[in-house]
Amino acid sequence: MSERKVLNKYFPPDFDPDLIPRRKGPKNSQQVVRLMAPFSMRCNTCGEYVYKGKKFNARKETVEGEDYYGIKIFRFYIKCTLCSAEITFKTDPKNTDYTAEHGASRNFEPWREEAETEEVDRLAKLEEEENNPMKVLENKQTDSKREMDILDKLQDIRARNARNERMRDVDVSTVLGKEEVETAEDLESRLLEEEDEKLVQDVFSKLPSQGPSSSSTTVKRKADDREPELHTLLGESARSLITGLAGPAPKKLKAGGAKNSLGVKIGKKKPGVKPL
């Protein structure tokens, strides 16, 4: 039993391919090909929409008398899916696209209009630069400025991305625990404050005193941990005046005769007896 899919075929020793007669077909014969609709279109007969990408069994032929720099132009025949009307479109090598020829109209595509407008503007700009050398210089300056702005923005984006990458690698607690770097302005302001403080201390330490006993006054500051006594804040004259008005200090009672408010005499504890 022979194989169903034969890869190697037998050729006899006396086989001569030049003796095989060649088939002669028509010069411009149509070929049946399988293709997809290259653009969205609307049938002119029934108004049915044929969307881009729909598959058809089309007939292909070469357009006689038309080419683009030696490139052949092909025509395709398809039928409408609703009314079976014939629709034809051709290749467009100049714009690398297809053009609707008969039986259907291409749907509006805004991006194609934008491309055509840009092409028209480019051609008009080139024509203007050919006749005006100053316009060429202005356009070059505008283009260079635009390129510099783009490079600056790109550099900012790169710096921001690099900073974000560094922040991902470093722990947040470590960043928060770091001391802020003192800038030149902060250092200068701190030095000025220290000089002002030193000047104030020198001035207050050399002020003359109102009292006859001392030649200079000392500035006393309140401590943070404890409050000073009241008599230390008064001058010598005020302290002597208060001492004279208060009179002699009262005599202290002996420890053995001391009594509390209830009349109970309080005695000293014996060293050998421990309290319960």
Nearest to 142 by CA among 131, 153, 134: 134
User: Could you tell me the CA-to-CA distances from 104 to 88, 100, 107, 110, 152 in Å, in that order?
Assistant: 8, 7, 9, 19, 50
User: In this structure, what are the phi and psi dihedrals at residue 213, rounded to the nearest 5 degrees?
Assistant: -75, -35
Q: What is the pLDDT along the chain (276 residues), one digit of tens a residue?
A: 566 777 888 889 999 999 988 887 777 788 999 999 999 999 999 999 999 999 999 999 999 889 999 999 999 999 999 999 999 999 999 988 999 999 999 998 877 777 778 888 888 888 888 888 888 888 888 889 999 999 999 999 999 988 888 877 666 556 555 555 556 677 888 888 898 888 888 877 765 555 444 444 555 555 555 666 766 766 777 777 777 766 555 555 555 555 555 555 655 555 555 555
Helical pair 133-169 and 110-131, crossing angle rounded to 10 deg:
130
Gap between the Cα atoms of 80 and 118, Å rounded: 34
Gap between the Cα atoms of 183 and 186, Å rounded: 5
Q: What is the DSSP letter of 182?
A: P
